Amino acid sequence: MFQRRVSRRASARGRWAFWGGLAAGGAALMSAIPKLKRKVMKVTNILRKDHRLIGGMVMTLERTPKVNGMIRRSLFNQIRHQLMAHSQAEEEIFYPAVRSLNFGRVEEYVTDAYREHQNMKDLLQQISNIDPMTSEFDGKVADLRRTIQHHVEEEEGKVLPLAERHMTVEQLEDLGMKFHNRKAELRQQTAA
């Protein structure tokens, strides 16, 4: 009988320790959520995420066999819509804010970024007029991938670090929210 009471007490203590630990862990996590959310919503983080997404989509298109032109065209159209929304939101929201820093070679970086965007838009237009089952289509998609890679390297190597060094977290978050909202508007317009 005595052993049963002890084991019940130990069992009850174990449950309380479990639930207490769970509550403490939840409380600790709750205090971390605003920090995690803030990190996710910084414009620089959103841009990096977009770069990875678009790069992955292009890689998927390049690896899609020439079996079904409709699938390849559909993938290309998804890439085009993502890239156009990303580029336009960058040009309207992010680049003007970076240009206003007026620091170092920022003007040169932003001018180059606009030029690279125009090159991507030109390639997207060319690709949209080519049969997705042809080698010409594949060649232009490879050109697009290289153009995107160069743009991402330049932006992530120069422009984003500059913004992170010379803007406050609040400014980066504000730009992140504006960028996110503008991209959502652009996607809705494209879908309509």
- The answer to whether the CB of 114 falls within 8 A of the CB of 93 is no
Q: Which residue has the tokens 């879908």?
A: 191
- Report the alpha-carbon distance of residue 109 to residue 161 in Å, rounded: 12
- 145 has a pLDDT exceeding 60: yes
Tens digits of residue pLDDT in 77-99: 999 999 999 999 999 999 999 99
- Which CATH class name applies to 42-191? mainly alpha
What residue segments make up the domains of the chain, in order of their start?
1-34, 42-191
- Report the alpha-carbon distance of residue 172 to residue 42 in Å, rounded: 5
Using a pLDDT cut of 90, give the percent of the chain over it.
70
Sorted by sequence, the CB contacts under 8 Å of residue 180 that are 6+ apart come out as 41, 46
Q: HEC profile for 117-165? A: HHHHHHHHHHHHCCCCCCHHHHHHHHHHHHHHHHHHHHHHHHHHHHHHH
pTM of the predicted protein model: 0.77
Identify the band that residue 191 occupies on the pLDDT scale cut at 50, 70 and 90.
Answer: confident
